[in-house]
Structure formats: structure tokens, C-alpha cells
Structure 1
């Protein structure tokens, strides 16, 4: 009888070992790829998972691994910010209006889980925060006058070799020393100070507020053309050969993209030449890959697709506004999804956001 029970006992021990191994694999290799909202729910799974997720090394690893765009911050001028996601169960923030900050703010830019905001009153101070952890820092006053509506881009690239969250802010502002010129000021968290670049771009066209994106060491802003500033080379150039319509600049697969509505569809252009950072782009053919046409699902829209407005583009997703509603289109799955949050039609731009545990 004892011999007859041994196989069952052995299989039970084997299944238990396999379960433990699978649990360890999930904890060690899968958890870092999950968004912060899911991880907060998993804190109550067991003591081991709670200790794992709360570990600073895990937090640092998650900020590197979880790089997908999972939500969008939006803000109507003069009102509090709001947050929307195509998967609210997976992605969210405790306080979408960011009332944990000491002042009422305007959201300017986002990068890998961090937000750059500016106070609405007083000296218009800049703040860097993580809306998930509600950690924040107030930055020192810039040396230059950035104007009432600064064109600021936040740059934060998590690195396995750097445990601290080093980030930069780049602001393109109208020159006060030269007519029809744009200058640049950069804040470095490592230095803890602002520095005005010696680079000057002579152009009579100003950049659009909140239009900037950062791609592989270069910051791009919409203007009459596209203003590009290379941080490494400290060089700038106005790229004129593009068609924007009512579209936005974004990032897809590590490249600059431009998405805009045309008729009943959306056109998406992706920067073709990865060596464009040398600032030698001169023709449309050398700048862009072949256009990709996107058509939203009429069944989801509930009627004729018209009056489209692309308000954000990041990862493989387009955030589109139409007839007072917001929709997300996935370029990989070709799926159109309606968001529960209605649009007022007054959004100047929605800012893509990654749900990260990154510490400030």
C-alpha cells in the first residue's frame, strides 16, 4: 500500500516544485514589465511579493522594462488635468488632477513615467513629478525668459548603469538678443542647474507650445516646419519639408513620427533615415518613409468618420478626437477602441504617459 502511494506523493512534490519555480519566474521576470497600477494590486498577494515590489532595485528595473504607452494626460486650459487609458484596470494614477503638488499646474511634457509641470501663478516654477508615487521636485528658476507658454520637452531615459533618475529639460524660447531667432536652455538634474546653449536658430517662426518630442538625442518641435535640436552636437535646424495638417509629432519604434487627419482617414509618417540626427535632411523623400493610411472602424465610431483630429501619437497607438469623443487606434492590431471619457473639443494636446514606479 505504501508503494502504491509513493507515485502520488512524488507527483505532488513535483507539482509543488514546478509551481514554486513558476511563481519565482513570474516574480523575477514578468513583474517588472507590468504597469504600476497592477503592481500596487499585487502587493497583497503575499509578503514575498510585497517585499519584492517595494525593493528599490525592482523599482529601478521596472522603470526600464515597462516602457509601453498606457495612458494619456490631458488638460483643458484653466482647468485641472485628467487622465484617460484604453485599459483603466491596468493603468491609472491615484490623483489624476495632480493636487498633491503645492500649486495649481499646467502639464507640459512627459517622459518614461515622469511629468514636467509648471505652476499657473507666481514665478511660473517648473516641477518634475511621478503621479504614481506622488514624489515631486521643484526646479530652480531658469536664466532666460521662457515666455508665458514655454515649449519645454522632458527627457528621461532610464539606464541599468545609473540607479538615479537623471533627466533633462530642453526649452526653445524666442531670443531677446536677436530678431527672428530661437534659443535653447537646458536643465540637467545631474548638475542641478540651467544653462543657455550657444546655439541659435535663425527663423521667424516660433515653435508650437507642447508640440515637442524627444527621439534618440534630438528634440523636435512643430513650427512652420519642424525645428530640430541635437543635444549631443548642440546644433539646430529648421526642417521645412513636411505636411502637418492638424496633426501631432510623436514617437514610434524609436523614430520620429507625424500623424495628421486628412479627409476621413489618418496619415502616419515615420522618419526613415536614422542618421537624420546629423541634421542633413533636405528633401521630403530623405526624411520620411512611405505614408501609412489609417481608417477608424465605423462600427466603433457609430457612423460616418469625419472631422478627425489626432491629439497624440506614441508607441503603436494614436489618440483621435471625433465628434466630442476620444478613440484609440492600435497600429499593430488595427483595432479601434472608444474611451469612456468624452472629449470637450477644447484639448490643445494629450500627453502620452507610461505607468512607472521611477523614484525621484
Structure 2
């Protein structure tokens, strides 16, 4: 009889060990994949989780593993304080959506993997880099060049396993004062703590769309106002004009690590991927194309409601998510589930939006 009870004790011991292992697995290997708002809530689960989430190492690990879009920071063209639209309000959010912790009223300019670039509205209009979750901020030194009233800036931040403090760059394309219809580039490096004007000048006679810039695999891209894309390679310090692109109502994004353009035409949304930047140098009658169609889909009629006849504008394309504005409604299309949902209604048609990742990254 006694021997018959021993296996039960052994099984109980094994179950306890399995439970402990599962608890450790969740703490060590699941929590870093969650957005910041959820992690702040989970600090109340137990003392171990609170200590784990509060460490700088965990914040660093979370910035590496969680890089999905969490929502949009939006701001009216009149310069009112920004607001935040969350894709999932239960899990993603920031404690101060209007960014009042910054020392002055600001205009949102760019974002990258949890960091936001803002520009002051007073004085010299300095740039600020901040994390809206931790409310950490850094004021950048004065620029060497005049970037204009609505600068075409792109924030570049790629989380690195070896760097606990974020190393980032701010890249601005600005009109040249020495050459008519030319574009120059100025780069701020957090590693150097200073601005540097590139020796490269783009003579493509193109005016850029200020908030169209995006960084993909070492290259920054901006839409030209009339035709084409201006590309600036940060490694080679070289610029290039990419032809064969019509940017009417289109938005640049990323798809599987490649540059893409997405635009809406009625209920239809078309996503093209950059396939060959040298197609204009190919021999005549070559079948090589600069852009290839990646996907085309139709938004759900039930989500569009009475706005089906409005002209849509793609706000964001990436992370298997497409955000489209129809009139004052912002819709989210999930490319995996093929579902369309209405995120919110905005107070104005002309509203500036930048994507945001809910990260704990340290500045």
C-alpha cells in the first residue's frame, strides 16, 4: 500500500516543478514581447514580475523584441497638442498623450521604434528626442543649416543587442542655399552628439513631402511632391532619384524588410514593393520593373459604412497592418486576419500622424 502512494508523490513533485518552470518561462521569455502599457499593469501581478520589469536589462530586451506598431500620434495642422490613437487601448498606450512633459509646445515630426522626434514651436525651434512612456527626453543642439518651417526629418533608431542606451540618428533633407532646386542633407548622431552636413547634394530638382520620409535597411527615402523618390544612403553618403513612382495619395512604408508604397482607390488598397532601383539603367525592352505589386485587397463595406464614397489616404503600411483614413474615420486592416475595423474618428480632415511603437527603450 505504501509503495502504491509513492508514484503519486513523485507525480505531484513533477507537476510542481513543471509549474515553476512554466512560470519562469513566462517571466523570462514572454513578458519582453508585450507593449509597455501591458507591462506596467503586470507589475502588480507579483513582486518578482515587478522587479523583473523594472530593470534596465528588461527594458533593453523589450525594445529588441517588441517592435510592432501600437498606434498613431496625431496633431492638427494648427499646432495644437498631439493626441494618441491606440490600435489596442487595453494593451498599448502612453501616460501623457499630449506630451506635456516636454519643456515647450511642440510639433511631432518623426518616430522610430519607440522614440519620438518633436520640434519646439518657440525660439530657435530645437529638436527633442523623447520616449513618451518613460518621459525621458534629450534636447538636440542647434542645427548648422536652416531646415525650413516644415522640415523633412527622419528618425533612425535600430535597437542593438550590445547598446543599452539608444544610439540614433536624425536625418534632414533641406533646400540647398548654394544651388537652385537642389537638396542637401544634415545628420545628427547621438554617438557624436553633434550635427554634420553631408558632402552629398542631390540635383534632382525635386521638392520633398515633409512627413513622407522613412528608413529602410540603411537608406532614407522621401517622396517628391510631383514625381519620384529621393533616396539617401547613410553608409555610402550618396543620394539617388528613383523614377517610375507616382506618389499621388500614396504613402511609403515597409513590407518584409523592403520599401513599399501603398495607396487607396475607393475600397481597394494596393501595395507595391521596390524591387529594382536600377531598372532605368537596363537595356531597352527589359521586363525589369522598379516596383512590383505585393498585394491588393478590399476594405470591408460594413466598416466603411457611409464613407465608402470618400477618397481614402493610407497613413501607415508595415508590420502586417495598413491604416487608412476615410474622411474623419481611421480604419485598420490586418493583413493576416483580413479584418477591417474602425479605430476612431478624428476632429479634422487635415491631421498629421506618425506611427508609434510602445517601447521601454532608454535614451
The TM-score with structure 2 as length reference comes to 0.93
1:22-57 Cα distance to aligned partner (Å, 9 max, x none): 011111111111111111111111111111111111
Q: List per-residue Cα deviations over 1:162-206 (Å, max 9, x = no partner).
A: 222100000000001111100000000000000000000013221
Determine the C-alpha separation between the residues in 1 that align with 2:45 and 2:2: 37
Give the equivalent residue in structure 2 for 1:311: 315
Aligned equivalent of 1:58: 58
Aligned length: 354
Counterpart in the other structure of 2:260: 257
- What's the offset of the Cα at 1:287? 2.1
Match of 1:322 among 326, 331, 335: 326
Q: How far has the Cα of 1:72 moved from its partner? A: 1.3
Hey, what's the Cα distance between the residues in 2 that align with 1:202 and 1:248?
Answer: 23
Hey, what's the Cα distance between the residues in 2 that align with 1:240 and 1:167? 29
Instruction: Pick one of 301, 305, 311 that aligns with 1:298.
Output: 301
Structure 1 stretch displaced more, 6-15 or 181-190: 6-15
Say yes or no: does 1:146 pair with 2:147. Answer: yes
In structure 2, the residue matched to 1:359 is 362
Residues 31-89 of structure 1, C-alpha deviations (whole Å, 9 max, x = no match): 11111111111111111111111111111111010011121111112211111122111
How far apart, in 1, do the equivalents of 2:152 and 2:114 lie?
A: 19
Say which SS state the counterpart of residue 162 (structure 1) adopts.
Answer: coil
CA offsets per residue over residues 2-40 of structure 1, 9 Å max, x none?
555444433322221111000111111111111111111
Q: Deviations over 1:258-312 (max 9, x none)?
A: 1111233111111224xx4xxx342895321225222100122225623212122
Q: Which ranges in structure 2 are unaligned for 5 or more consecutive residues?
A: 282-286
Cα displacement (A) at 1:154:
0.2
In 1, Cα distance between the equivalents of 2:126 and 2:279? 36
- The 2-side partners of 1:59 and 1:208 are apart by 34
> What is the correspondence of 1:155-234 to structure 2 with a 5 Å cutoff?
155-223=156-224, 224=226, 225-234=228-237
Flag structure 1 segments of 5+ consecutive residues without an equivalent. none
CA distance in 2, matches of 1:349, 1:267: 22
3-state DSSP of counterpart to 1:176: coil
Superposed, 1:238-249 pairs within 5 Å as 238-249=241-252
C-alpha distance in 2 between matches for 1:323 and 1:148: 27
Aligned partner of residue 51 in structure 2, secondary structure: helix
On the 8 A contact 2:82/2:108 being kept in 1, the answer is: yes
Distance 2:263 2:126 in 1: 33
Change (3 A) 1:255 1:348: farther
Shift of 1:345: 4.0
The answer (yes or no) to whether the contact 1:312–1:349 under 8 Å persists in 2 is: no
Q: How does 1:42-81 map to 2 (within 5 A)?
A: 42-77=42-77, 78-81=79-82
- Separation of aligned partners in 1, 2:102 and 2:75: 16
Partner SS state of residue 153, structure 1: strand
The CA distance in 2 between the partners of 1:347 and 1:256, in whole Å, is: 25
Q: 1:92 to 1:321 in 2, by over 3 A?
A: same
Q: Residue 195 and residue 124 in structure 1: after superposition, are their counterparts in 2 closer, same or farther (change >3 A)?
A: same
In 2, the alpha carbon distance for the partners of 1:286 and 1:56 equals 46
1:267 corresponding residue in structure 2:
270
